[in-house]
């Protein structure tokens, strides 16, 4: 599995299947890794497309930075850009699922001419990395803390995807940790 050291020296692993047709880059959602795209990679590789599927920072075999600031959307997008640069890819098709789609929206904002198109699957435009209280006593990665907080902050997500959990019981009256706001 190839890898690169991204702009901040975070190791980013990815799978890369060469082909003669254009390149499709598949970006997974949280908390998955590149393996969620195995069927798609197999399908498009058979049709002679070049396919790439990274493990986003904090996921799979990629590096897991300690600092919260390492998980800004800009950093995820820059990692994708670094893969494109390293492999000299012209006009890739970018496919993102859920959180991966959010990464690609930031990518399109930062690098508007670097991709042929975006395909977004179950993606929201809102940034989940907001400053809200985090639950006490959990030993979670920084990225997981961010996303869990986002779910607890948005009642519509709880009602739509997590009815069985009963998220209300997880709220505390006083904040335990407050995260920095990322634009």
Number of domains the chain contains: 2
Query: For residue 29, what pLDDT band results from cuts at 50, 70 and 90?
Result: very high
What's the pTM?
A: 0.70
Residues 161, 130: one domain? yes
Are 137 and 152 members of one domain? yes
Residues 21 and 100: their CA atoms lie apart, in Å, by: 23
Indicate the pLDDT class of residue 88, thresholds 50, 70 and 90: very high
Range in 34-38, 110-114, 126-130 the model is least confident about: 126-130
Higher pLDDT, 45 or 167: 45
Q: Are residues 165 and 87 in the same domain?
A: no
Torsion of CA 104, 92, 9, 71, to 10 degrees: 10
- Domain boundary residue, one of 121, 138, 162: 121
Q: What is the mean pLDDT of residues 53-71?
A: 93
Average pLDDT on 58-81 reads 93
Domain that holds residue 132: 126-183
What average pLDDT does the segment 12-20 reach?
96
User: Rounded CA gap, 171 and 183, in Å?
Assistant: 25
Q: Are residues 70 and 159 in the same domain?
A: no
pLDDT above 90: residue 50: yes
Residues 94 and 170 in one domain: no
Together in a domain, 40 and 117: yes
pLDDT band at 171 (very low <50, low <70, confident <90, very high): very low
CATH of the domain at 94: 3.40.50.1820
Same domain, 69 and 40: yes
Residue where a domain terminates, one of 74, 100, 121: 121
Q: Are residues 74 and 108 in the same domain?
A: yes
Q: Are 81 and 115 in contact (CB under 8 A)?
A: no
Asked whether residue 21 falls in the same domain as residue 102, the answer is yes
Helix (H), strand (E), coil (C) string for the chain: CCEEECCCCCEEEEEEECCCCCEEEEECCCCCCHHHHHHHHHHHHHCCCEEEEECCCCCCCCCCCCCHHHHCHHHHHHHHHHHHHHCCCCCCEEEEECHHHHHHHHHHHHCCCCCCEEEEECCCCCCCCCCCECCCCCCCCHHHHHHHHHHHHCHHHHHHHCCCCCHHHHCCCCCCCECCCCC
Give the end of a domain, one of 88, 103, 121.
121
Indicate whether 90 pLDDT > 90.
yes
Tell whether 68 and 9 lie within a shared domain.
yes
**Residue 131 pLDDT:** 41
Q: Both 84 and 146 in a single domain?
A: no
Confidence of residue 15 (pLDDT cuts 50, 70, 90): very high
pLDDT of residue 85: 97
Query: How high is the pLDDT of residue 122?
Result: 85
Residues 78, 10, single domain; the answer is yes
Q: What is the mean pLDDT of residues 118-125?
A: 84
Verify cis geometry, omega within 30 degrees of 0, for the bond prior to 25.
Answer: no
The set of residues, in sequence order, having a beta carbon less than 8 Å from that of 178 and lying 6+ positions away, is 131, 132, 133, 134
Tell me, what's the pLDDT at 125? 66
Q: Which residue has the tokens 């496919």?
A: 95
């Amino acid at each position: 599995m190839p890898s690169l050291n991204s702009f901040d020296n975070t190791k980013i692993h990815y799978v890369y299947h060469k082909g003669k047709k254009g390149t499709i880059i598949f970006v997974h959602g949280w908390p998955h890794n590149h393996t969620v795209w195995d069927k798609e990679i197999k399908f498009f590789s058979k049709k002679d497309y070049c396919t790439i599927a990274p493990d986003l920072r904090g996921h799979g075999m990629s590096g897991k930075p300690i600092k919260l600031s390492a998980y800004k959307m800009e950093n995820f997008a820059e990692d994708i850009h670094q893969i494109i640069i390293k492999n000299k890819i012209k006009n890739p098709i970018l496919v993102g699922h859920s959180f991966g789609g959010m990464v690609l929206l930031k990518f399109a904002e930062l690098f508007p001419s670097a991709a042929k198109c975006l395909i977004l699957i179950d993606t929201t435009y809102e940034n989940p990395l907001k400053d809200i209280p985090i639950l006490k006593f959990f030993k979670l990665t920084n990225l997981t803390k961010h996303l869990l907080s986002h779910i607890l902050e948005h009642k519509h997500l709880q009602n739509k995807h997590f009815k069985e959990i009963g998220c209300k019981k997880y709220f505390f009256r006083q904040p335990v940790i407050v995260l920095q706001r990322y634009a």
